[in-house]
Structure 1
Amino acid sequence: MLYFHGGGFVLPMFKEHWPLAAELVGQAGVSITLPMYEVVPESHYSRADKLADAAFAKLAEAHDPQRIVICGDSAGGHMALSLALRLAKAGGPQAGKLALFAPWLDMTMADPAMQAVEPHDIMLKIGTLRGCGAMFADERDPATAECSPLYTAPEALAQLPLRRAFSLGGTICSSSTAAPLRISCAMRALMQSSMNMRARRMCSWRSRQRARRRMCSRWSGSFWLRLSAAPARDQALKLSPTICSLSAHRRSALPLSSA
């Protein structure tokens, strides 16, 4: 599984992502690679896209692409879908499955129904998200399909692999009911626990800004992390100066020379 974390494109991985990823390793029996992409406004969206493309290409060299699941939550769900659309457009190998976990697909936040939900949302605000979306879009129009995959043409979506999008109420859309994803039950159970953990971790914007600056100064290169159900069989990917290999039983940092 290639998993992209959420964070509105402006925040690095939250600590709540680690138990989520670890549970997916244990319950779904998959190895997970988590690209630590750079965030805006310190970086440009194109750098995150390039890392996503390179991550999939490296995994496809070592594994049958049809056995790869591209997955992500929130802004990471956007990255997962955007990567799948780029792969489909290129006409090369595609992932076998696409699982979107509460994906953020409209940078403009145009749906008027959001206004009724906003007063009850303890985490997300429409204006803040629009601001994050504008920083992510940069010189592009946030309303285009390139920035907001929600507006992708149906014929382009039809080229995607088997896909399923999850909400707290369960599966909200699927391209196949005959071939359910192996991770479906795990995803539904873990979404609620992840949301609960995020709610407990809500803090001021100033605190999040300080955390982001610390993380960005620490992750100055294209770092990524790997969780594995069978670490002895997996090879660390050679895309960064330092690669962290994680499993349910061990955690270690591997220099490039020993990867």
Structure 2
Amino acid sequence: MKKLQIGIDIGGTKMLLLANTATGLQFKKITTGFNFSGVDADTAIASFLKELPAPPSSIGIAIPGLVKESGQVISSDVLPKLNGWLPSVTKDSPCPVCVLNDSDAALIEGKHEVGLPAHITLIIVGTAIGASFWVNQQFLQGAKGWAGELGATPIITAQGSKTLDQLAGGAALLQRLGVDTQQLTTLVEQKDAIAFKAIKDAGRWLGIGIATTIHLLNPEVLVLAGGTLNWQGYLKVALSSAQEHCIPELWQECRIHVSVHGELLVALGAMRAAAEFEQKF
């Protein structure tokens, strides 16, 4: 009998719950936002589990922020009301539960997309920007497992010191224009010049972040993912900016891969991480 595995992606604008059932993928999406709390997340997870045809064999939960080995959220600037949250399912579920950073989850799935090379850098661009690193066929995670906070990188601009999140992240882009996602979609459809300039400016700053990671890590493959890449012109400008600011030899030796899994990537990675954890359980 096929095992029922769960992958959950909690992001700045949406929470995606994914189940790999005997009849295929079953998923549910709910809106999150700045005020989304641990109570909200626990409620959504409990409700989803009740909808499934059988109990899960493993559960993976991906969080945009710093996570302890115990599964407790230390800090999430995207979803600050998750700070201190330990998912109830980690205590209540009889099956293994793996809680991890969303960029790490994305890389766990993404490295299978690109043929498992020894050196991969993944950058995910959504509400904010995160990164994860696969070096010599293992994660480069740092002392506490918190490496990869690329969006927190400070950059000096004409307006003073800004973070890469503030310059290139999806939330900051919307804030600069004073619109929501649907309104920006409308502006793009109307070919609004101000909107396109803001999108391209954000893309140029992401290119700086891409070039920086390539300089530091010299990856074989750079995997890019996240919904902000879908804004017209953003990705093209980001790659042009990255190439402009990158040492030519390092750029030429790095293959760029945009994830084919779209918004499912993080949830699939969380699912895979939990399944691998289950094997050790």
Do both share a fold (TM > 0.5)?
no
Structure with more of its chain in strand, by fraction: 2
TM-score if structure 2 supplies the norm length? 0.29
